[in-house]
Amino acid sequence: PDPRTLVRPGNRVAVDGAFKASTLRNIELTGPYMHNGGMKSLEEVVQFYTRGGDFRLTNRQDLDPDVGGIPGLQGNAEKIGAVVEFLRHLTDPRVKYRKAPFDHPELVLPQGTSGVVDGYVRDILYLLPAVGRDGGEPFGSFEDALRTGFPLEQLNQTQVSVPEPAGRLMRPVDGGLVIDVGVPPGGVKPPVPLDPAVEAPIVLEPTVVEPVVVGPAVEQPATAEPATATPALPEPPLP
């Protein structure tokens, strides 16, 4: 191996403190940012890299070596704003306005729970309206959503009724809309624990397989068809 690139015991790993970088495409719409969602806007992200990260002295043993600050942007709000504007221009307008091929049907989105009723967890559901191929209202950034909220319609809180083969059958609480939310069967626990003394055990009958009798193969004698010869016609005499 090349001694100039050999990692020796005690050497700091170059990627220590680094994280896999996500794509910059449509980054305007993918907030909050950073690996822990700790930044709400692109401005905060650019400012972070401009100043060279946070807690540099405290985390110097695990600091990403590529985070060393951007001197050309430090103290210049106009240049920082220009970088942010560049990042916003990486947004595909078809995605932002939900035009084809990024249109979608009406979607029911579970967003947390509101408690337990009769042993079942009550889901809080939101409705994302359908959008056709021509698109609709644009998606806002995460920072916009913090100010104005998400464009979702909250449905009546529902509770699980009965596990169904195709998913969970949802019935409304105190009236309202009935929604069928597809969840794999078996993902819903019964409302009360089953008492082994009361519940009859399930006994599986052994499967009886009927034997398949295969008779001996009987070969049919090969019969040769008689060859039929075409009679030869005499050639006409030459004049």
Total residues found in the chain within this entry = 239
pLDDT value for 205: 58
Q: For each of the chain's 239 residues, which pLDDT tens digit applies? A: 566 667 676 666 666 667 788 899 999 999 999 988 999 999 999 999 999 988 878 887 777 777 889 999 999 999 999 999 999 999 999 999 999 999 999 888 888 888 888 888 888 888 888 999 999 888 888 888 888 876 666 655 444 434 444 444 444 444 444 343 333 333 333 333 334 444 444 445 555 556 666 566 555 655 656 556 566 666 666 65
- Asked if residue 112 belongs to a domain, the reply is yes
Mark 162-177 as b/e (b = at least 16 C-beta within 10 Å).
Answer: ebeeeebbbeeeeeee
**pTM for the complete prediction?**
0.56
> Rounded to an integer, what distance in angstroms lies between the CA atom of residue 46 and that of residue 69?
10
- Asked if residue 99 belongs to a domain, the reply is no
pLDDT value for 73: 96
Token pair recorded at residue 211:
């034997």
Sign of CA dihedral 30, 36, 37, 42: negative
Containing structural domain, residue 176: 107-181
| CB 168, CB 66: distance < 8 Å | no
> Rounded to an integer, what distance in angstroms lies between the CA atom of residue 239 and that of residue 237?
6
Q: Which residue, of 181, 206, 221, is where some domain finishes? A: 181
pLDDT value for 162: 40
- Asked if residue 145 belongs to a domain, the reply is yes
Question: How many domains does the chain contain in total?
Answer: 2
Residues facing 24 on adjacent strands: none
pLDDT value for 91: 96
pLDDT value for 171: 46
- Asked if residue 205 belongs to a domain, the reply is no
- Asked if residue 239 belongs to a domain, the reply is no
**Do 84 and 122 fall into the same domain?**
no
pLDDT value for 15: 67
Token pair recorded at residue 203:
């006994």
